[in-house]
Amino acid sequence: MKQKILISLSFLLLFGFFTLSVRAQRMLTLDETIEIAKRQSPDALSAQHRFRSSYWQFRNYKASFKPMLTLDATLPSLSRSIEKITTPEGDFFYERNLANYSAGLSLSKNIGFTGGQVFFNSDLQRVDLFGDSTVTSYLSAPLNIGINQPLFNYNPFKWAKKIEPMRYNEAERRYMEDVEQVNITASNLFFSLLDAQIRLKIQQINLLNNDTLYQIARGRFNIGTIAENELLQIELSLLNAQSAVENALLDVQVKAFNLKSYLRLPDAEDIRLITPPVPEAPVIDAQVAVAEARDNRADALAFDRRMLVAESRVNQAKTENRFNANLYAMYGLTQSASDLEAVYRNPQEQQRVILGLRIPILDWGLTRGKIKLAESDMEMERTAVQQQMIDFDQEVFLKVMQFNMLRNQLIIAAKSDTVAVKRYEVTKQRYLIGKIGIIDLNLAQSEKDNAQQGYIQSLSTYWRSFFELRKLTLYDFVANNRMQFRFSDIPDVE
């Protein structure tokens, strides 16, 4: 009875896996998995949203230097009040009903080099005074030309012209690094499921082998050629193999769910993975990789940008807390009349010049303290950047050393897998003819399983290191060229 139960469990497990395997399946390679991940994974979509945010921030910066056309209007402003007037005869109160209408068209443009602004505007106002009779009056300013120019103040436009393009280029590089991170995550999930599927296949084969060995062992036991202890050992191996298949089936389902969730694939769809080949990357020169990382990575550009931001803060502290002046100058035409046509005849000139000064006299060291604080912050930032640059170079260097070492380890793992499989087959045949015992067979089987799984682990580590190196350098070592940002990869941007 126990023998029949063991045989039934074995066939049930194998039949269950066979049922899963004959369902409609989607075969996926590593390249296909990565392409799907870059197109629709949550990380890829988040990277696109982050870049779009940076893109529109840069567009807003560029728009701030374009001419701005504005229309302001009041249609109307009504006022009814009692007001006091003073005459030689005394003070009197009277009721005033007033309607005010105005419209103005203004064209302005920021001047990046000086930090000022030039403007052109045209205004028209109408006032209706209601009483025993309605009195209407117009005031026009057909054209005003002016400038508003800080003379010694902090110029944010000058610093923005240096910083914002760097920030945008940094966003492009950061997006490419995010895409490479998607590759890393997708490959990790891919190899996690591939490892689970291979483990399941190994456990299936082990179950079949152990079931066959158990049937042979029972026959030998019945004729007295082996002891009961050896039969029990083989029976225990069969039970362990059945348990291992069940665990492997569950592990495959969990890993498949994780991959399908990341790729946003239908959960009802079964996935079978194809073992990828080894990347055809050459042995990498560490100095070349470090140089490419310095030229290409977002962090390398961020180091320069952070120092510019620190310098701008020092400049701001020095200029905003000392002698400052602001020049406002305007020249235009104006006229007033009681009807609309006359208000544009024979306009009169109008000029306005305002020079404002701000001179700090006594601030109890506040200005000096702000400057020293900004300078201290800049030196701290400089120290942090210098250390991060050292760590940056070291990270790339060590990653290259690891990658080149993994190539040799992968070759060794592949050979070990081949040797272990062959050794197991030889050991199995020797056991069947009674040349060796069950302990030697179990040891060969364990070594075979470990070698197969070790090869997949080495392959997974090698691919992950390959993508990590691409992310660190933004350099394609297979095509031997720098990775280029493609604006067409980002949807919903102009």
Q: What is the pLDDT of residues 82-126, one digit of tens each?
A: 777 777 777 777 777 888 999 999 999 998 888 889 999 999 999
- pLDDT recorded at residue 49: 92
- pLDDT recorded at residue 23: 53
Is the pLDDT at 22 greater than 50? The verdict is no
- More confident call, 178 vs 131: 178
Is the pLDDT at 432 greater than 80? The verdict is no
- Residue appearing with tokens 């400038």: 147
Is the pLDDT at 396 greater than 80? The verdict is yes
Q: What is the pLDDT of residues 310-346, one digit of tens each?
A: 999 998 888 887 788 888 899 988 888 888 888 888 8
The tokens for 213 are 């060995």
- Please count the residues of the chain: 494
Q: Please report, in angstroms and rounded to a whole number, the separation of the first and last CA atoms in the chain.
A: 74
Could you count the other beta carbons within 10 Å of the beta carbon of residue 83?
A: 10
Is the pLDDT at 71 greater than 60? The verdict is yes
Is the pLDDT at 353 greater than 90? The verdict is no
Preceding amide of 76 cis, omega within 30: yes
Q: How confident is the model at residue 24 (pLDDT cuts 50, 70, 90)?
A: low
The tokens for 231 are 């039969």
Give the whole-angstrom CA distance, residue 43 versus residue 435.
57
Q: How confident is the model at residue 46 (pLDDT cuts 50, 70, 90)?
A: very high
Q: How confident is the model at residue 20 (pLDDT cuts 50, 70, 90)?
A: very low
Interstrand relation of 348-358 and 324-337 (parallel, antiparallel or unpaired)? antiparallel
Cβ(366)–Cβ(181) below 8 Å: no
- More confident call, 417 vs 165: 165
Is the pLDDT at 14 greater than 70? The verdict is no
- pLDDT recorded at residue 6: 45
Q: Which domains does the chain have, with CATH numbers?
A: 2-60+160-307+380-489 (1.20.1600.10), 68-111+116-152+324-359 (2.20.200.10)
Is the pLDDT at 2 greater than 50? The verdict is no
CA neighbor of 407 nearest in space, from 453, 454, 466: 466
- More confident call, 269 vs 395: 395
- More confident call, 361 vs 193: 193
- pLDDT recorded at residue 417: 82
Give the whole-angstrom CA distance, residue 94 versus residue 181.
77
Q: How confident is the model at residue 494 (pLDDT cuts 50, 70, 90)?
A: low
Q: How confident is the model at residue 1 (pLDDT cuts 50, 70, 90)?
A: very low
The tokens for 160 are 């923005």
Cβ(122)–Cβ(69) below 8 Å: no
- pLDDT recorded at residue 456: 86
Cβ(243)–Cβ(207) below 8 Å: no
Q: Is 457 exposed, middle or buried (0-12, 13-18, 19+ CB in 10 A)?
A: middle
Query: pTM for the full model?
Result: 0.80
Give the whole-angstrom CA distance, residue 12 versus residue 18.
10
- pLDDT recorded at residue 493: 67
Q: How confident is the model at residue 213 (pLDDT cuts 50, 70, 90)?
A: confident
- pLDDT recorded at residue 266: 85
b (16+ CB within 10 A) / e for 136-159:
eebebbeebebebbbeebbbebeb
